[in-house]
Amino acid sequence: MTPTLLITGANRGIGLALTERYLEHGWRVIACCRFPGSAPHLMTLKNHYASLTTQALDVTDHAAVQQLASNLSDTPIHLLNNNAGQYGPKGYQLGETDTEAWREVLAVNTIAPLVMAESFTPHLTLANNSGHTPIFAFISSKVGSMSDNQSGGGYIYRSSKAALNAVVKSLSIDLRPKGIRTVALHPGWVQTQMGGPNALITADISAQGLKQVLDTLTDSQSGHFLDYQGNTIAW
C-alpha cells in the first residue's frame, strides 16, 4: 500500500518543503491549507504529481475538520503532520500582552492539533491495520521548552507550544494501545515567514531532517520532544 501523508499548513515554508519531500519519495499527500488556490508553489506541485491532492482547511474550523475526516473515512493515513501554526504579535513587553491574540494563537497551535488528532485517529488506526506503524507528528518549537527558557518574554507563542507539548505527551499514552506513535518536533530556526531571514537553516534542510526523524521513529521515542536532527529536547 502506498503510504499517505496528511499535512496542514502546506502552502509555504516547512509545510511546503515536507510536502515536496514526501512526494519525491512516492507518498500520496493530502495537503491542507486555508487557500490552496492562492499557493502557487503548491499548485505547481499539484500539476506535477498525480499523488498530490489539496484541501481547503482552516484548522480552527472544527466542523470543517470533522467534515474532512468524514470525507476521508475510508482512507488509511500513515502520517498526519500537524504543521499549521501562528506566531502572533512580536516585540511586546511584559504588561503589553494582547489577550485576544493569545486566544487566537492557542486556537491554532494547541487546540486545533488536538481536534485533528481526535478526528483522524480512526484513519491512523486503519493504517496500522495495513501493517504500517502510523504517526501523529506535531510541529512544536524549542521555545516551548521550559527548561531551555533563559531569555523570558514570548508569552503567547511559548505558552502555546508548551501546551501543545503537554497534549502530545498525553496523546502518546492514550494512543499507545492503538499502535499509534506520537511525537513533538522542533524544526530548527528556519528561514520562513515566521522564522525570518536571519534564521540558521532553510526549510528544505529542516524538512529533510524531520523526514529522517519520522522514518526512524521508534516506539520508545513516542511521546518525546525531538529536534530535526533527532536530538531529544527537555520539556
pLDDT band at 191 (very low <50, low <70, confident <90, very high): low
For 95-121, the pLDDT digits (tens) are 999 999 999 999 999 999 999 999 999
User: What are the strands, taking DSSP E only, across 57-121?
Assistant: 79-82
- What pLDDT does residue 129 have? 75
Question: Half-sphere exposure of residue 103, counting CA atoms within 13 Å on the CB side?
Answer: 2
- What pLDDT does residue 196 have? 57
- What pLDDT does residue 107 have? 98
Edge-to-edge, what's the strand order for the sheet holding 79-82?
52-56, 28-33, 4-8, 79-82, 135-139, 181-186, 225-227
Do residues 201 and 218 touch, judged by C-beta distance below 8 A? no
- What pLDDT does residue 190 have? 73
Q: Mean pLDDT for the chain? A: 95
d(CA 113, CA 170) in angstroms, rounded, equals 13
- What pLDDT does residue 66 have? 98
d(CA 5, CA 28) in angstroms, rounded, equals 6
d(CA 62, CA 71) in angstroms, rounded, equals 14
DSSP state at residue 16: H
For 57-104, the pLDDT digits (tens) are 999 999 999 999 999 999 999 999 999 999 999 999 999 999 999 999
C-beta atoms surrounding 155 within 10 Å: 16
- What pLDDT does residue 52 have? 98
Out of 119-133, 141-155, 189-203, which region has the weakest mean confidence (pLDDT)?
189-203
pLDDT band at 131 (very low <50, low <70, confident <90, very high): confident
Q: Match 502546506 to its residue by C-alpha cell.
A: 10
Q: In the structure grid, which three cell numbers stand for residue 148, read together?
A: 531551555
Is a pLDDT exceeding 80 seen at residue 123? Answer: yes
User: What are the strands, taking DSSP E only, across the chain?
Assistant: 4-8, 28-33, 52-56, 79-82, 135-139, 181-186, 225-227
pLDDT band at 195 (very low <50, low <70, confident <90, very high): low
- What pLDDT does residue 189 have? 77
Is a pLDDT exceeding 80 seen at residue 192? Answer: no
* 156 strand-pairing partners: none
Mean pLDDT score, 176-198 = 82
- What pLDDT does residue 194 have? 59
